[in-house]
Amino acid sequence: MNRFLPAALLLLAFVSTAHAEKADSTKPTNVEANHMEYDDIKQVNTFTGNVVLTRGTILMKADKMVVTQDPQGYQYVTLYAPPGGLASFRQKRDGGEDQWIDGQAERIEYDDKAEIMKLYSKARMRRLEGSKPTDEVTGEFISYDTRAEFFTVHNTSNGDSKQGGGRIKAVIQPRKDK
């Protein structure tokens, strides 16, 4: 088994804890890129050039993806956008026939230990029914606690909200009566 594959597998935890499709955890992980480097001593795996990761319903795209692992085995993933573009992820959620979550930003980080996803600069996260957004938040910084399903959105990319730093936006669709 290739040594880089376990590091790439963690990336899938990136979204899988967010009430994601449970079946994804049993699917194989496929990573495509133009180049890959693995530093076994530093436990750093770097994919560059049109990076596409798929596993079940998970789809992640970036220009560069860096996966590091600490001595306890926790992994930390960073997705970097291509010049002038955004890094992105999309995954089917449990709880409905056609429920999805997706996000985009210039940089996306996932902390496996804390189960926190952070989206930096031009950040957006959406919940979708099919291709129709049900809820959407945008700002310069979004922190998403996948355990508690708790979002914070800030108007600066360093995670602070400052006067004059811009506005955040949330669109919340009405729920259908069940």
Place of tokens 């573009």: 85
**Phi (first) and psi of residue 18, to 5 degrees:** -90, 55
- Residue 164 has φ and ψ, to the nearest 5°, of 85, 0
What domains can you pick out in the chain, each with its CATH number? 4-172 (2.60.450.10)
Provide the mean pLDDT of the chain. Answer: 80
pLDDT, position 2: 40
pLDDT at 47 over 70: yes
From the list 129, 71, 126, the residue with the least C-alpha distance to 97 is: 129
Question: For residue 126, which amino acid is it?
Answer: R
Taking only the tens place, the pLDDT of each residue in 158-174 is 877 888 778 888 888 77
Buried b (16+ CB within 10 A) or exposed e, 64-94: bbbbbbeeeeebbbbbbbeeeebbbbbbbbe
Looking at residue 20, what is its pLDDT? 53
Q: Is 142's pLDDT higher than 70?
A: yes
Q: Are 115 and 40 in contact (CB under 8 A)?
A: no
Measured CA to CA, the distance from residue 113 to residue 18 in angstroms comes to 14
What is d(CA 172, CA 50) in angstroms, rounded to the nearest whole number? 33
Would you give the distance in Å from CA 70 to the centre of its chain? Answer: 19
Task: Give this prediction's pTM.
Answer: 0.79
